[in-house]
A and B are shown apart, each in its own frame.
Chain A
């Protein structure tokens, strides 16, 4: 084929630009995940408090985050907040804030699920052995919730990496956007470039998420 689209990938710094785009994606998701995990653990514990006030608050927060499409949240954070308060949040910071809010809600729900799945008699027998509430939590509850949580957390991370492609819409140039730019620039010389570029983008996403999925499977098997 004369215009083999594959060569587009090796022209100039195209491939490097794609990798840089991937790094933007991964960076936003990793920062959000790293913030979401501790916040989500706290939120999950907050949700299990036997107190109607905390129940209502956390329910509203969770439902709000779930009902709103992430895209709307991104627009609110980036355009809305800037307008309303005159703060000039960078696009990437807005993205991190939105994904952290989302991650905290989802992580919190996972933590809540793991916590309430510990049967009551586990607490009873720990306390009957003289353990304090704190010791029960550290030696009995946390290890049992951890093994349920780790695979779920990893799945949440891969979901986040995939969802970050939305940030294009607030002007962040991540991997998908770079791909589109490369395709547009070569539309006339290499009409089949789209296939190749999107193929590589797919591969890059796959390479970012695959090791994480493998890890999840491993842990799941080991801790079944």
Chain B
């Protein structure tokens, strides 16, 4: 992790109608830092990520990447988005394009890079995630885990500076979760700046440099994974962690 601030969120607010989802979020993320965002369902984790890459327009506050502000009114939004890769929960590959074309579409059409060069990048990345053999396959021929790995490669091929992951394993069968998480862990090891929303607590603990706990539209707690999981400061975080543990309730007397 370096000292340079890669992504800055200041006093970010987002309302849907009368519902306030984000109520003043402040967050500085350094280059190479991995931040995991935790919080109960509906607390605004997806909304936070979507505001960061301009898929939602914030009601207030600012997001800047490399010192450039992200706002949808800004004509540069598509340029800024190229610095931010995002992978979603739903397998969102383009069904009419094969794997290679899924990956090369945006670098060629948006970044106007030469196809040859992009295909070389795609080859290197696909080999890294073990899917080079599938380059000619169509998304419907891949398993959920494979599709998510391709979606990660597709985002990486844009050479982003920050990667956002929104519950990328939530829709996967349990045996496929690991292969996707491994790819993300490797990416973290290589120094990618990442914001991860996940419900995989063990993974969060291993991958995170910092844990952000979101609830009621605010950051309730911000700490190292060690501290968050062993000794959460707030009652809300304690309650939240409680939902992931089970206690044996069965007794022998009926």
**Which of A's residues lie within 8 Å of B, judged by CB?**
119, 121-122, 124-132, 135, 139-140, 143-144, 147
Contacts and interface: CB of A to CB of B under 8 A. Distances in A.
A128 B86 contact: yes
A124 B90 CA distance: 11
Contacts of A122: 92, 94
Given A121-B92, A124-B55, A126-B106, 12 more contacts: A121-B88, A122-B92, A125-B86, A129-B81, A129-B155, A129-B158, A130-B82, A131-B110, A132-B78, A135-B109, A144-B95, A147-B96
A143 B105 CA distance: 13
Contacts of A140: 94
Contacts of B84: 128
4 closest A-B pairs (Cβ-Cβ)?
Answer: A129-B106, A125-B92, A128-B86, A130-B82
A2 B94 CA distance: 67
B79 A130 contact: yes
Given A122-B94, A144-B96, A147-B96, A128 B110 contact: no
What is the interface of chain A mostly: helix, strand, loop, or mixed?
Answer: helix
A131 B96 contact: no
Among A119, A124, A129, max chain B CB count under 10 A is at A129
B88 A124 contact: yes
B154 interface: yes
Contacts of B79: 130
22 contacts: A121-B90, A122-B94, A125-B151, A126-B106, A128-B53, A128-B81, A128-B84, A128-B88, A128-B155, A129-B81, A129-B82, A129-B105, A130-B78, A130-B106, A130-B110, A130-B111, A131-B78, A131-B106, A131-B109, A131-B110, A139-B109, A147-B96
Given A139-B105, A139-B109, A130 B88 contact: no
Among B88, B94, B151, max chain A CB count under 10 A is at B94
A127 B90 contact: no
A127 B111 CA distance: 13
A129 to B, nearest CB: 4
Contacts of A130: 78-79, 81-82, 106, 110-111, 158
A130 B80 CA distance: 8
> What range describes how many residues of B lie at the interface?
20 to 34
A42 B222 CA distance: 51
Nearest to B81: A130
Nearest to A129: B106
B110 A135 contact: yes
Contacts of A132: 78
A128 B89 CA distance: 14
Interface of B: 53, 55, 78-79, 81-82, 84-86, 88, 90, 92-96, 105-106, 109-111, 151, 154-155, 158
B112 to A, nearest CB: 11
Nearest to B83: A130
Nearest to A125: B92
B81 A143 contact: no
Nearest to A142: B96
A127 B78 CA distance: 8
Nearest to B78: A130
Contacts of A139: 105, 109
Among A125, A131, A143, max chain B CB count under 10 A is at A125
Contacts of A143: 96
A153 to B, nearest CB: 17
A152 B78 CA distance: 35
Given A121-B88, A139-B105, A139-B109, A128 B96 contact: no
A144 B93 CA distance: 12
Given A131-B109, A139-B105, A125 B78 contact: no
A71 B88 CA distance: 52
A124 B81 CA distance: 12
B81 A127 contact: yes
Nearest to B105: A139
A4 B238 CA distance: 96
Among A119, A128, A144, max chain B CB count under 10 A is at A128
A124 B82 CA distance: 14
A135 B93 CA distance: 16
A128 B109 CA distance: 14
A140 B97 CA distance: 9
